[in-house]
Structure 1
Amino acid sequence: MLAHAWYVLMASTAAPLAASPAATPLPQAATEPADGDSRASEIVVTARRRTERVQEVPIAISVIGGAEIEKTGAFNVNRIQQQQPSLQFYSSNPRNSAINIRGLGAPFGLTNDGIEQGVGFYVDGVYIGRIGASTFDFVDVAQVEVLRGPQGTLYGKNTTAGALNITTRPPSFTPEAKVELSGGNYEFVQAKASVSGPLSDTLALRLSSSATTRKGTIHNTASGDDLHRLRNLGLRGQLLWKATDSLDLTLSGDFNVQSPDCCVQYYARVGTTQRPLNRQYEALAAAFGYAPPSRNPFDRITDLDAGIRSRQEIGGVSLVANWDLGAATLTSVSAWRYWDWQPQNDRDFIGLPITTVSQNPSQQKQVSQELRLASNGADKLSYTVGAFYFHQTIDTQGSQVQGPAASRYLLNPTSANAGNPAVLDGLTSTNTISFDNTSFAVFGKLNYEVFEGFHIQPGLRVNYDKKSGSYLSVVTNGAGAPVICDPAPTSSVVRDQCATLAPQRYAPKFIDWNVSGDITASYDFSADIHGYATYAKSFKSGGINLSGLPLNAAGTGVDLATQTVKPEKVDNYEIGLKTQFLDRRVTLNVAGFWTAVADYQATVNNGQLTVIRGYLANAAKVRSRGFEFDSSFRPSQRFNLYVNGAYTDSTYEKFTNAPCPPELSGGTVTTGTPGAAGVPGGLSPVACDISGQRLPGISKWSFSYGGEYNVPVGGAGGQVYIGYDGNYRSRFSSNPSPSAYTWIEGYALSNVRAGYRRDGFNLFGWVRNAFDQHYFELLSTQSGSTGLIVGQPGDPRTYGLTISKSF
């Protein structure tokens, strides 16, 4: 029988909740009520080195069990966000992915290698240094935990917005196996299998695999291919050795390869800018006699004329050891991981050969080591202390190539060179980028019971970060000769080439120490009512820009003042209450938060092609505030409901030198009074004051809701069931500076399922996006202030059948 649907908001900072489940044998995620008992299932964790109800652990967390993941088809992080209102996941392709919680975490836009992520991503206790590696299909997952608010005084990497922890099923000394097969429209096929059992009295093995294929949902008329296809393979192995009664070691290895031919963006709409009218999209397209294959993006047709590929390979090994010393448990988590990214993109987004190549193949390697000592028992004073080391290297081989249409499309028509395709045709920027990142920290947390039911839990972290990098961009013309931009060229041809792609060379560095901490007070009003209040002072390490810098005022070199960004400084306040009543048939948890961020790391894209991936700057002040609730209701063992929601108000409190939105860009730059927005030929400000405006990617309101009803059939525990899962999010901005052209309107998605289950056998049909809702995941602007807005649509309605059997 189903556990209560969503595993609610919890509270505290009392112990290594995120790390512990991965570092110790996983407790049973939910203890089912006895037959005829309609109370909610017991959700237990080992957050404080002892088994306890998750409702009693004072930390802001939601836990989704593996059974919930399987039945809802949430087989990756992108689908998990539909179940968690406070979680946002954005991906224009696997490399350019971001996980945010409560509107904070990573700057919205294209990925910049030189900064930290504000949301930590962990698999079995191992910190993953690149969010791109989070796009894998889940393989044999036991549970997913979403922690909200700053983390770092208990485990792992310092994170300012939260953490996402995935725990896989551990090896079992009882033989077991499971197979699952799904098929659906768009030629969707997904197969999963796992097997586990003893090799001896002290050794146990688990092997797991997953393979997914699906035809693309967007047709490319230029190549004849269907884009947004899925081609994923995942393998995982774990070996558990119980060396003694007090010492166990788990060796894990995994390999994932994905080649999804995604994630394309194409014509969505057009908005006028301040660029001269004859240099905006409609006039430029007419000059070429060009028209998109459809002006309705939900016809799902494009004509991209460059190669599309999003292949990535992810893998690694880890060793987790737990040694029970009696009074405390010593945990060690050692890991090595790699990530290999091999993309192809069409960065002009249309079927004209303007930018024929724009891509950044990248290879990451990381090593990490964590040691943690946590007290055992339930004394009035308990503790966790530890140290964490992380080293990461990234090597990137970027390139950008302009095509024969670039001169006419990019250069001013009044220039004599605009009519000469040879001026920009073959203009190539070859970029060699390296990054070295070292981080070390010591941390600790106390949990003191002042009197019965009342706990004070202070925590402290000292962190060291060192980042260094190298960025070298060599520009050659169509004949392969170097383009020299400093000193300022006298040739108009070279000037136009330098204005399009300019050579760059710089080597940024960043070194810093910081001290962060938190304190939580919690009180158990009764066995089923628990409250808490938390204050956290946190830091997100400073960073270096590794995607190219904007040109200086003279246009002869880069602005070196922009090569580093300052650390974020975060003050977070939170209060929460967790309740269960009606004999635990009803769960209602609420939390309110207020987070103030100084020197917020924001994405800047000023339209220069020189900066092919955008760059970073600091917004003076950002604030995120709001409240969340999770609720579930189980009136009987046959029926359950859940409703979760979040209100998030995330705004730039002070950002006076922000990039301007497209309607205020493209005109003659002035330091005086700018022209009217969206009027061709107007005056554009150097920068815009967007203080008081909303952060991108964040809906003020978001909800998830659903339930399941079952009827016993055939005896012996057989059930026929029907389930529904829905989610809603209100409108949000899809541009770093809010623009009238890039708001994504609110939408609701509905997923339904119905089937039969008995004794480990499950057969059900499912429909996702049942009402075929048309919505965008992202909207972007075409470089050069042409006014073209491109979008990445969400998946259409999909349907299929899943059959599984446990042995």
Structure 2
Amino acid sequence: MKYLSNASALAIAVSLMSASSALAQSAETSASGPQLDTITITAQRRETTLQDASIAVSAMTGEQLEKDRILSFEDLAGSVTSLSFTALSPLDQEFNIRGITNTRLDSPTADQSIGIFLDDVYVGRSGLFNSDLYDIARVEVVRGPQGVLLGRNVVGGALNIIVAEPDFTPGGNMTISVGNYDEVLTRGYITGPLTDEIAGRLSFQSRNRSGYNYDVLHSRDLDDLRSFQLRGQLAFQPEGSNFGARLIADYTKDESNGFLSVAIDGPDPATQGPWSIAREQIGALRGIPLTIREGLPEHPLYAGDANETPQGLEREAIGVAVHLDYEFDDFATLTSTTGYRQGQAASVYDQTGQGPNNGYGIISPLLFRFPLSETEDITQFTQEFRLVSNTPESAFDWIVGAYYQHDEVTKQDRFWAEVPLTALSTLSGESHWDNSGETTSYAAFAQMGYRFSEQFRIVGGVRYTHDEKSGTVTALAVETGDAFNPTDTVPLSPLAPTYTEGGGFTTDYGDDWSQVTTQVTAEYAPNDDLFVYLTWAQGYKGGGFEDDPANAIAAQSGYDPETVENIELGVKFDFWDSRARLNVAAFQMSYQNLQVTQTDAGCLCNITDNAADADISGIEAELQFAVTENLRVWGGATFLDTEYIDFVDSLGVDSSGNNLQRTPDSQFNVGGELTFDAGPWREALSARLNYSYHGEMFWAPDNNQIQEAYGLLDGRLTLTPPNADWTVSIWGKNLTDELYRTNIIAFFGDEISRFATPRTYGIELSVDF
């Protein structure tokens, strides 16, 4: 169903603007009462309030994150308008805003479509550098391209995470939570002055749990977690000086037994895949059917190894950021932001979830197994200088800056497979790809605004970006044949049928791209309660090269950059004496050369294509309402109309006219918090509920696999006695135990699926000091 045309989206927004004006004019006659909080954000590289920012942005404070138990970006996707999350593996995390997602782009030179910034430092590898959200001041989710100020590949939007800063007032907190699946979470922080001019802050989080799923073949948990994060900060604020500095150092380490892949019978009733058939047969043999949370992933026996390599994940990373600020009185503030990140990760997982060595003697011609090993070693350095005007009495305001980034990524992929069917012997054996890539990017940007009156302002900006990417990839057919096809001489696809065992190729690759992106915004604020903006903006994301190319020509070819043009009309207004707030944005985006990565079932490899173009139009709305002093409600909704235009991929599959992959046609969330008395303790209990709905979405550009719509219900009940320094809470996530998938790969009639977190619940004690 098509929800919106380009014209209708803007027409709805104009109607809402007219309604907002009427409501704003009635605000003076509204009854006084509780008011909504004013949230300060920095996504536009200067401090402004959420309601005065001419961008579509959602902001969640650290307190909100804790109340909703948002520990990761996957959790965040259930509470923020237009944001959704999918993942093949912990190293292949995919964020989607308004239909734009970085699907399976994890090669050494790949860029994200959704920019992630940690305290203004761009994080280039979401899978490795994605730590838990703990001791956070706020999270800002910016929707739509931001090609001038944020710039670095923010073609679909950005997640801006701001950690809590050191405080010269001593304080601290310790929290412990226990839950089902043997979860134990502890986190805390301590902050205070070290000298008259230096304050420090030390925060940590430890999270351990058993698995949501179970490996029947090896008798161990899957989707378990053992993680630890640590962050230390120093803030230097000399008294009477215009200079300030902050040093942030963080460390994260986590490990698990990996995740479970489960075969689900595909949509074609005439064809059932070999893996779902085998699951039924295994269930009959063991006398108990396999549940959706059980599987039999097989471990690879790599060439030269005496023992199998267990499935699992290990990830470790460090980061250092230095922020320097100097204020030139009433002229401008100069900011230097330096970031360094380094990390390693290793992951082994079985893509099909089971195979011919399943322990029950179930063998069929197509029942192959296909484990994959990935290792990464990443170093990233970024530097940004920014000069921001500080002349409030002037009609002019401006920002100028320069940006530099250098990444070095070494990645190894090891494919290993066994297949009983002789006709598919090209899926037998072992192949390696060793891929080392470098990215150097630099940019210069400028933005200027002019205020024609108290009500009307025009802002324009431009950014020049230059990307240079190069590297070397070695592909090697390590071993041909398997236990079923011992004499086969054709190497494991996708190197097949070019190279025999011991053969392969080594080749260099490289290219560079430059792009100028611009943005123009008109702002209109007729009074303190109403703010309207109209924006035309461009976005850019650099090109790159394949992770595991089939041959030297494919390795050298790569894929082109993608660009976008966006026109957006936004209305933000507070009414009923600042007790209610409604923000609406209508937009139309046109993408050129959209980068799309999908798994080819023929070679079991990933192929990245540049779709000719794609159109996206939609409307978003967010509402908050302080009903009484003790009751607050909120909600948000997104409706999208997406379409690939003239998209024929390299395999000849025509997806023209189809919906964009992994994009819900609609999303909404509603919630509320009620505070009431607990016996003699007045207003000591608070009950909080949040429900999020994700509409139906197609998994791939061919629109053959569908994730049905689903809804998630979360809740929390908190006791805070008057004048106490402690609180105790009972919490629950996915209370209805909704079953939904975060990944689907279609093989021979089956849908190999990864299922999301089931119902979790627990109790939490938090103490301030």
> Shorter-chain TM-score: which interval?
0.7 to 0.9
In the alignment, the residues of structure 2 paired with residue 292 and residue 120 of structure 1 have an alpha-carbon distance, to the nearest angstrom, of 49
Rounded to whole Å, the distance in 2 between the matches of 1:64 and 1:527 is: 22
Name 1:308's counterpart in structure 2: 311
Structure 1: distance between partners of 2:146 and 2:371: 40
AA aligned to 1:772 is: D
Q: What amino acid does structure 2 have at the position aligned with 1:337?
A: R
Instruction: Report how far residue 504 of structure 1 moved.
Output: 4.2
Contact 1:372 1:387 in 2 (8 A): yes
> When the two structures are aligned, how many residues end up with a matched partner?
705
The residue aligned with 2:372 is: 358
1:735–1:501 CA distance, 2 compared to 1 (3 A): farther
Q: 2:101 & 2:276 partners in 1: Cα distance?
A: 39
One-letter amino acid of the counterpart of residue 496, structure 2:
A
- Would you say the 8 A contact 1:365–1:394 is kept in 2? yes
Contact 2:268 2:749 in 1 (8 A): yes
2:385 is equivalent to residue 371 of structure 1: yes
Q: How does 1:626-645 map to 2 (within 5 A)?
A: 626-645=618-637
Aligned partner of 1:262 among 251, 258, 263: 258
Report the identity percentage.
27
Q: Is the 8 A contact 2:347 2:374 kept in 1?
A: yes
Greater Cα shift, 573-582 or 687-696: 687-696
Cross-structure match for 2:470: 468
Report the Cα distance in structure 1 between the residues aligned to 2:643 and 2:289, rounded to whole angstroms.
Answer: 32
1:412 aligns with 2:423: yes
Amino acid at match of 1:180: T
* Cα pair distance change 1:440/1:291, threshold 3 Å: farther
Counterpart amino acid of 2:68?
T
Give the partner amino acid of 1:412.
A
Q: What amino acid sits opposite 1:384 in the alignment?
A: I
Question: Residues 616-671 of structure 1, C-alpha deviation per residue, up to 9 Å, x if partnerless?
Answer: 11110111110000001112110000010101222212202365xxxxxxxxxxxx
Counterpart Cα distance in 1 of 2:709 and 2:289: 18
1:337 aligns with 2:341: yes
Equivalent residue, structure 1, for 2:350 = 346
Give CA deviations for 1:27-49 in whole Å, capped at 9, x if unaligned: xxxxxxxxx94111222345678
**Compared CA separation, residues 104 and 47, structure 1 to 2 (3 A):** closer
Q: Does 1:320 align with 2:323?
A: yes
Amino acid in the other structure paired with 1:345:
Y
Q: Distance in 2 between matches of 1:694 and 1:293?
A: 42
* Cross-structure match for 1:680: none
- Alignment partners' CA distance in 2, 1:192 and 1:334: 27
Q: Which of the residues 668, 672, 675 maps onto 1:703?
A: 668
CA distance in 1, matches of 2:62, 2:131: 16
CA 1:280–1:119 in 2, change beyond 3 Å: closer, same or farther? closer
Matches of 2:489 and 2:279 in 1, distance apart? 25
Cα gap change, 1:637 to 1:336, in 2 (>3 Å)? same
Deviation digits for residues 148-181 of structure 1 (CA, Å, limit 9, x no counterpart): 1111312462411111010000011000101111
Q: 2:137 aligns with which of 136, 142, 156?
A: 142
Measure how far apart 1:544 and its partner are: 1.5
Residue in 2 that maps onto 1:218: 213
**Unmatched tracts of structure 1, length 5 or more:** 1-35, 481-490, 550-556, 660-686
Matched with 2:703 is: 738
The 3 A distance-change label for structure 1 pair 138 and 387 is same
Tell me if structure 2 keeps the 8 A contact 1:88–1:103.
Answer: no
Quote the residue 1:538 is aligned against: 539
Select the residue among 427, 445, 448 that pairs with 1:446.
Answer: 448
1:187 to 182, 185, 192: 182
Report Cα offsets for 1:115-142 as digits up to 9, x if no partner.
Answer: 2112110111111010113532112111
Aligned letter for 1:505? T
Match of 2:274 among 278, 281, 286: 281
Say which of 755, 760, 766 aligns to 1:798. 760
1:421-436 matches, within 5 Å, as 427-436=429-438
Q: Given residue 755 of structure 1, which amino acid in structure 2 is its aligned partner?
A: T
Aligned CA distance change for structure 1 residues 134 and 560 (closer, same or farther; 3 Å): closer
- Structure 1: how far apart are the matches of 2:676 and 2:683? 8
Which of the numbers 227, 230, 241 marks the counterpart of 2:225?
230
Alignment-derived partner of residue 162 in structure 1: 157
Corresponding position: 1:597 with 2:607 = no
Q: Aligned residue for 1:397?
A: 412
Q: 1-side partners of 2:378 and 2:286: how far apart?
A: 38
State the shift of 1:572 in Å. Answer: 0.6
Indicate conservation of the 8 Å contact 2:617/2:641, yes or no.
yes
| TM norm structure 1 | 0.83
Match of 1:568? 562
The answer (yes or no) to whether the contact 2:108–2:438 under 8 Å persists in 1 is no
What is the one-letter code of the residue matched to 2:533? Y
Distance 1:715 1:568, change over 3 A: same
Q: Distance in 2 between matches of 1:374 and 1:441?
A: 17
Q: Which digits, 9 at most, give the CA deviation of each residue in 1:718-765, with x for residues without a partner?
A: 5111110110011111224211xx201001110111121144422110
Asked if 1:386 corresponds to 2:396, the answer is no
Per-residue deviation at 1:398?
2.0
- For residue 233 of structure 1, report the CA deviation from its aligned partner: 0.5
Query: For residue 32 of structure 1, what is the aligned residue in structure 2?
Result: none
Q: Give, in whole Å, the separation in 2 of the partners of 1:511 and 1:707.
A: 50
User: SS of 1:446's equivalent?
Assistant: strand
- Taking a change above 3 Å as real, the CA distance of residues 750 and 541 of structure 1, as seen in their structure-2 partners, is same
Q: Greater CA deviation, 469-478 or 79-88?
A: 469-478
Instruction: State the partner residue of 1:18.
Output: none
Distance 2:82 2:237 in 1: 39
Output one character per residue of 1:502-553: Cα deviation in whole Å (capped at 9) or x when no partner.
Answer: 534332212111101100001002110110000012221121122223xxxx
Query: Which residue number in structure 2 is paired with residue 206 of structure 1?
Result: 201
Distance across 2 between alignment mates of 1:779 and 1:294: 28
Evaluate the alpha carbon distance shift between residue 748 and residue 454 of structure 1 in structure 2; reply closer, same or farther with a 3 A threshold.
same
Contact kept? 1:396, 1:433, Cα under 8 Å? yes
Quick check: 711-720 or 170-179, which moved more? Answer: 711-720
Alpha carbons of structure 1 residues 514 and 714: separation in structure 2 relative to 1, 3 Å: same
Measure, in 2, the Cα distance between the counterparts of 1:543 and 1:184: 43
Which residue identity does 2:594 align to in structure 1? Y
From 242, 245, 255, give the equivalent of 1:246.
242
Equivalent position SS for 1:565? coil
Q: Distance in 2 between matches of 1:637 and 1:140?
A: 27
Alignment pair present for 1:581 and 2:585: no
Q: In structure 2, do the counterparts of structure 1 residues 351 and 40 end up closer, same or farther at CA, with 3 Å as the change threshold? A: same
Alignment partners' CA distance in 2, 1:197 and 1:283: 58
Structure 2 residues without counterparts, runs of 5 or longer: 1-31, 300-309, 358-367
**Corresponding position: 1:499 with 2:496:** yes
- Supply the AA of the counterpart residue of 2:726: F
Change (3 A) 1:453 1:543: same
SS at match of 1:82: coil
Determine the structure 2 residue equivalent to 1:668.
none
Name the residue aligned to 1:789.
Answer: 751
SS of the residue 2:176 aligns to: strand
User: What's the secondary structure of 1:345's corresponding residue?
Assistant: strand
Q: TM-score, normalised by structure 2?
A: 0.86
Q: Distance in 2 between matches of 1:286 and 1:706?
A: 40
Q: Does the CA-based 8 Å contact 2:108-2:437 persist in structure 1?
A: yes
- In the aligned structure 2, how far is the partner of 1:800 from the partner of 1:339? 32
RMSD: 2.8
Alignment of 1:763 with 2:728, yes or no, is: yes
Which residue identity is paired with 1:499?
A
**Cα distance change on mapping 1:100 and 1:760 into 2, 3 Å:** farther
Q: Tell me, in whole angstroms, the C-alpha distance in 1 between the residues paired with 2:413 and 2:745.
A: 21
Q: 1:688 to 1:728 in 2, by over 3 A?
A: same
* Residues 403 and 442 in structure 2, CA contact (< 8 A), matched pair in contact too: yes
Distance, in Å, in 1 between the alignment partners of 2:341 and 2:46 is 30
2:161 & 2:287 partners in 1: Cα distance? 41
Whole-Å separation in 1 of the counterparts to 2:710 and 2:131: 26
Q: Following the alignment from structure 2 to structure 1, what is the Cα–Cα distance between the partners of residues 523 and 120?
A: 26
